[in-house]
Structure 1
Amino acid sequence: MIIRRGTETFPTKSYAFPDPDKIATQHFLVNKGEYDGKLNHVVRATLNPGFDLPFHTHTDDEEIFVILFGNAEYTDNDRNKHILHAGDIMICRSGEGHAIGNPFGEPTILMEINLPVDK
């Protein structure tokens, strides 16, 4: 299966944490229903400098982040902070929590893969 989006604009969603100037933009590349397997979505996200997504818990899904460009500050389930670099991969399992932010001076680009979990 090949999805050709051409010049079509990807569906986007923007978040501003902690204020409107500190934004992250998600471009939804593949969504539930476009794929036969278990998948919620695949997103290419840009975290602008200063963006900070607060700690939250995933209960019905798992999330995989692949850092494509730049660096990110990642807080794991045990509230330990880590610096992620391009090429690093983070996995947040169902029932675990995490936070991610960009306290650095350049944008961070990452791929997010979100998968449902059978209960």
Structure 2
Amino acid sequence: MHLKKLAVLLSLGAALLSGTAFAAGSPASPFQDGEQVYPQGKLFTYDKQDVAKGKGTAYGKFAFARDKAAPDSAIKEMCYLTLKKGASIGTHQHAFNEDAYIIISGEGIFTDGTGKETVVKAGDITIARPGQSHGLKNVKSKPLVFLDVIAQNDTFLKNHPEAAPKK
């Protein structure tokens, strides 16, 4: 039981350090440990408000979220997110994980760590590696839909132990 509590605390610490902390835990995933297929109809809804000091709601359909990810899994979160017009994920820095956005539909403005803005659309992929910052906003009428995949970079943690979540 103590290991489970420690795993949850470490996952929450990781979320806080990554700059995209959530006000409350995600709903329980309907999937079993070791699952390899996450049917669209079984993804759970988890909507986030003002993510990373962004604006509006990020509407989510999740296979799993960071606060309930297996401690030994590299991929900590995997979901579809939708930003409606005017909504954004604020520019935030990743401590030791990597975050990829795969744009499914719509058009958005991606902001990198230097403040450079790039228009992204269906088929484009972005990534923020450890130490890098990123943000995304939708200024168009059509919803911006993207796949968000967050993975822990153990090689970075091994080489930069100071970036690890505090116990």
> Per the shorter chain, which TM-score range?
0.7 to 0.9
Contact residue 108 and residue 139 of structure 2 kept, 8 A: yes
Match of 1:78 among 114, 124, 127: 114
More helix as a share of residues: 2
- Name the Cα RMSD after superposition: 2.2
* 2:136 is the counterpart of 1:100: yes
Stretch moving more, 91-100 or 24-33: 24-33
Corresponding residue SS for 1:103 = coil
Task: Give 1:52 shift.
Answer: 1.8
Would you say the 8 A contact 2:97–2:150 is kept in 1?
yes
Indicate the residue corresponding to 2:148 in structure 1.
112
Q: Higher relative contact order at CA 8 Å, sep ≥6: structure 1 or structure 2?
A: 1
Unaligned runs of 5+ in 2: 1-34, 158-167
Q: TM-score, normalised by structure 2?
A: 0.61
Higher Cα Rg, which structure = 2
Q: Per residue, is there more strand in 1 or in 2?
A: 1
SS in 1 for 2:123: coil
**Structure 1 residue 87 and structure 2 residue 119: aligned?**
no
Say how many residue pairs are matched. Answer: 115
Match of residue 47, structure 2, among 13, 20, 26: 13
SS in 2 for 1:40: strand
Question: Which residues of structure 1 form unaligned runs of 5+?
Answer: none
